[in-house]
Structures are given as C-alpha cells and as structure tokens.
Amino acid sequence: MCEFIFILLDLGDKINKIYITNLFFLHQIFLINEDLKTFVWLPSRTSSTNAWKIFQKLGFSYKSYNPNKKVFEPYLTNTHYHYHHLFEGHEKYKLITLLRNPYSRFVSQFRVVHSPFRGESIDDERYDRFEHYLQNVFYNSLNDDYMTWWYNPTRESDFFIRQESNYEDFCSLPFIKSTELYKSGELLEICKTPIHTMKGDDTPWQEFYNQDRADIVYFNTANYFEKHGYKKESWKK
C-alpha cells in the first residue's frame, strides 16, 4: 500500500488513472498450472526468484483471471510478483506457498531497503536502524503489506517450500519426481545456487538481533513460528 500512496503523490492525474488500472489488473495475476490445478504464492525475500524459475520449468506461468468470463487468460511477463490474492473457485486448486524464518527474512528485506548501509564500513548504527525498521513495519500506519500479510493469510496452503530446505520441500511435491527437472539434477542445481546476495556484507543475520528486536518479530509472527516449526530462539547463534 505504501508504494501505491507514494506513486499517487508523485504522478499526474492522467497517469494516476493508468496506474490504478494497472495495479488492479496485477492483482488478478496468478502463477498457475491449470493441468495440475495448482497455483503459487511467492512472498518476497523467500528465494522467490529461484522458485519462480523452477515453477516455470514445471509448466507454471502467469495468467490473468477474467472475473467476467471466469477463465484464465495468458499474461506475458519477464518477472515475478509477490501478490497474494485469490480467484473465484480457488478452493478447487492446490496452493503452494514459500516460507522463510521471519528473523532472517526481515534482515534480508532490511538489507534491500537500506542499501546505503551495506559493506564493511557499517557500524553499530545499522543495528539501531534495523530496530527502527522493525518498529515501522509492524507498528506505523504504513504497514508493509508485502512483508507482514503472510503471517495471517486468507487461505491455508496445501504445500510449503521453506527457504532453508527448498530442495527437500520441492521434492515433497507429489508431481515433482516424474519430471525431467528432478531426474536430470537441474532442480538441485537451481536450489543450491544463491541469488540476490548482498555483496560486501557478509554479516550473519543473527548479528542484527538482540532480545528486544527478536521480541518485536516473534510477538507479531508467533503463529507463523509455531505453525511452520521455526524456533523462537533461532535468532541466537
């Protein structure tokens, strides 16, 4: 929602209407395989780019849902999206969602949105800024929906792909072991290839936490920790 507000402030009326239309349209886009009757949610900072590449190779593609005709239509794109909407009749489809330990996920997002604070010259000021970032994400009026929505989703998923065990979790999908992607070993190669790493900042994500910062994250995402088996004390080394 923040992105929507700031863009409206910066652009003229004519472009505003175009942006609103495009935003609504994007909300109707789904990564889906109709033959498998399965669609996918790709939360940000969960190795979503790698997962998107894998799902493409498994026959998934982005399609727009036409609510008037109640059908999916082709949608050409060279990127992936983090939307989490549903379509009429979604109950008849299986849903796959990516997961990640909330502690490490919020550090990853912080490193992206605070890019000037990367590198060896970073000092303890960065950790204070991280705490300020967490306060903003969870408590201010411009809540970061891309980050926080996933901890109280509108639908339960049928399968989960954890960032920490993505290959094993992909292998648990019922259709995966019959695919050439799995048999050839390509799935394993993609899963073990990291992307979007922060060059110049090799600080372990655990370094960003003290008890107060960990409490902010856990208090606001406790159900997610418990449901998906992440440990409350996993921020500690």
- Give the start-to-end residue ranges of the domains of the chain: 2-228
Task: Tell me how far apart the alpha carbons of residues 96 and 111 are, in angstroms, rounded to a whole number.
Answer: 26
- What average pLDDT does the chain have? 83
Q: Which pair of structure tokens corresponds to residue 105? A: 């996920």
Q: Is the full-model pTM beyond 0.85?
A: no
Confidence of residue 15 (pLDDT cuts 50, 70, 90): very low
Q: What is the pLDDT of residue 5?
A: 35
* Per-residue pLDDT reduced to its tens digit, 146-191: 678 888 888 999 999 999 999 999 999 999 999 999 999 999 999 9
Give backbone dihedrals phi and psi of 165, rounded to 5 degrees, phi first.
-145, 45
Average pLDDT (88-92) is 96
Confidence of residue 230 (pLDDT cuts 50, 70, 90): very high
Q: What is the pLDDT of residue 124?
A: 67
Kindly compute the dihedral angle of the four CA atoms of residues 89, 92, 96, 101, in this order, to the nearest 10 degrees.
80
Segment of 6-10, 111-115, 151-155, 215-219 carrying the highest mean pLDDT: 215-219
- Cβ distance 187 to 54 under 8 Å? yes
- Cβ distance 96 to 165 under 8 Å? no
Confidence of residue 55 (pLDDT cuts 50, 70, 90): very high
Confidence of residue 143 (pLDDT cuts 50, 70, 90): low
**Residue position matching structure tokens 């894998």:** 54
Residue 109 has pLDDT above 70, yes or no: yes
Residue 237 has pLDDT above 60, yes or no: yes
Q: Which pair of structure tokens corresponds to residue 108? A: 């990853």
HSE-up of 113 (CA within 13 Å, CB side)? 19
